[in-house]
Amino acid sequence: MPTKTKSSKPEETQKIAPEEIGEFVGRRVKKLRADRGWSLEELATASGVSRSMLSEIEREKANPTLTVTFRIARAFGMTLQELIESAEPSASKIQVIRAVDRGQVFRSDKQCEIRTLSPLNLEKDVEFYEVTLRPGGALRSQPHFEGTREFLTVEEGSVRIESDQDAEELTKGDSGTYRADIAHAIINTGKGNALVFLVVIYR
């Protein structure tokens, strides 16, 4: 599964005039960096943006380009929209991921489709996925961080889960948990699509 990647999305975001974006980004970046306890050097390393440029942005002396803003957003694990959106005091505490949001699709190919059911930008120790395995499809993963485990429930079809040399067959309604800090796999053993829900816990 994907390796680890805090924000809550407001019901309505404050509209920011184009000429105010530079100022807002400066304040936002400064707060996000302080919240994480990062130095300017650490943010520069994570984003690939120079320390001097970051300092200018935080002091609202520079209007960052789209590329620079994207790099900073990515360093914080955010999208561009999430970086520049303004959190209202009355904003909803509920963040919703709609079924139609293709932005949550992490991977889609002949083997499988992986859709994240937890916010992509969330700093977390737990991740939640919906995995659809095509007929004959398999999701094979290299070891994650030490201590990582995965918990899987089969919603439709049948799968085989493998963790190192161990393997188990699961069908609809079955659940399994296994070490994910070693090579592991989820394999569709049926004739149709297999749908599973997967929780990854990092320790």
111 in the same domain as 194: yes
Token code pair at residue 88? 């209202």
90 domain residue, yes or no: no
192 domain residue, yes or no: yes
156 in the same domain as 76: no
Token code pair at residue 43? 């943010």
Is the pLDDT confidence value at 126 over 70? yes
Is the pLDDT confidence value at 90 over 60? no
162 in the same domain as 126: yes
143 in the same domain as 71: no
Is the pLDDT confidence value at 79 over 50? yes
- Is residue 168 within 8 A of residue 150, CB to CB? The reply is no
Across residues 38-55, what is the average pLDDT?
92
Write the CATH number for 62: 1.10.260.40
Sign of CA dihedral 58, 62, 67, 68: negative
Whole-number average pLDDT of the chain: 84
Count of the separate structural domains present in the chain: 2
Per-residue model confidence (pLDDT) at position 170: 98
More confident residue, 196 or 57: 196
Cα–Cα distance, 194 to 21 (Å, whole number): 45
Give the pTM.
Answer: 0.58
Instruction: Kindly report, residue by residue over 166-178, the tens digit of the pLDDT.
Output: 999 999 999 999 9
132 in the same domain as 46: no
9 domain residue, yes or no: no
Residues 144-171: b if buried by 16+ CB within 10 A, e if exposed = beeebbbbbbbebbbbbbbbeeeeeebe
Cα–Cα distance, 160 to 42 (Å, whole number): 42
Across residues 41-57, what is the average pLDDT?
92
More confident residue, 109 or 98: 109
Domain that holds residue 169: 102-201
Per-residue model confidence (pLDDT) at position 12: 38
Per-residue model confidence (pLDDT) at position 121: 58
